[in-house]
Amino acid sequence: MEDRTLIDRCRKGDELAWEHLVQRYQARVCGVAYTYTGSEEEALDVAQEVFVRVWKRLDTCRDPERFAAWLLSIARNACLDHLRRRKARPPAQDLPADEMFDLSDGGDRPDADLERDDQRHVLEVALQQMSDINREAILLKDIQGLPLEEMANMLDLPLGTVKSRCSRARVELAKVVSGMIGPGPEAEAAR
């Protein structure tokens, strides 16, 4: 069922449609909230708050075809509000060396699910070590797949600035991951 149909029904008070809409987007909103907060518990609280805001403002969503982008924008604002309230970010979690997944080993571990979890964990820890601005760029562009133009609108920045920010953010993420897993043998030899 399309978002537009669900939203129309929600506006008429159809609680089943609202439940369906929540189920459709809750994991995505939790993903965004987790990337901003770095805490599962806080992410759940913020995600609930996001849906309460969406429910209250559903009639202001002018273009239901772009509901996902509108939702992301509300989620972003809710996360920033939360971070402002929290003020100080918690220290990034240290990952024990033996739990780190070596991205350079070609991924030949037998348990594919375990490998995926390890990769995810490394990325989540690395994201929390990045600067706020660059982490947000990675989240919106590479994780949530927002088009650059949409991102520029949301952040109220020129397109060129958004492009260069995304580029710098990817490099920062790669360097953080490289610092976590250690330099490759070639790079080590070159130093």
Tell me how long the chain is: 191
CA dist., res. 10 & res. 149, Å (int): 29
CA dist., res. 27 & res. 9, Å (int): 22
* Cβ 85 to another protein shortest distance, Å: 18
158 is an interface residue for another protein by CB under 8 A:
no
Nearer residue to another protein within complex by CB, 96 or 106? 106
CA dist., res. 36 & res. 139, Å (int): 9
Taking alpha carbons only, the member of 139, 144, 112 closest to residue 128 is 139
CA dist., res. 52 & res. 55, Å (int): 5
Contact status, residue 59 vs residue 11, Cβ threshold 8 Å: yes
One-letter amino acid of 96: P
CA dist., res. 125 & res. 90, Å (int): 12
161 is an interface residue for another protein by CB under 8 A:
no
Contact status, residue 37 vs residue 89, Cβ threshold 8 Å: no
With residue 131 as reference, give the H or E element that holds it: none
125 is an interface residue for another protein by CB under 8 A:
no
30 is an interface residue for another protein by CB under 8 A:
yes
* Cβ 37 to another protein shortest distance, Å: 11
31-70 mask for another protein (x: CB under 8 A)?
x--xx-------xx--xx--xx--xx-xx-----------
104 is an interface residue for another protein by CB under 8 A:
yes
* Cβ 122 to another protein shortest distance, Å: 9
6 is an interface residue for another protein by CB under 8 A:
no
Nearer residue to another protein within complex by CB, 19 or 132? 19
List contacts with another protein (CB under 8 A): 10-13, 15, 18-19, 22-23, 26-28, 30-31, 34-35, 43-44, 47-48, 51-52, 55-56, 58-59, 103-104, 116, 119-120, 123-124, 127, 138, 142-145, 148, 163-164, 166-171, 173-175, 177-178, 183-184, 186-187, 189-190
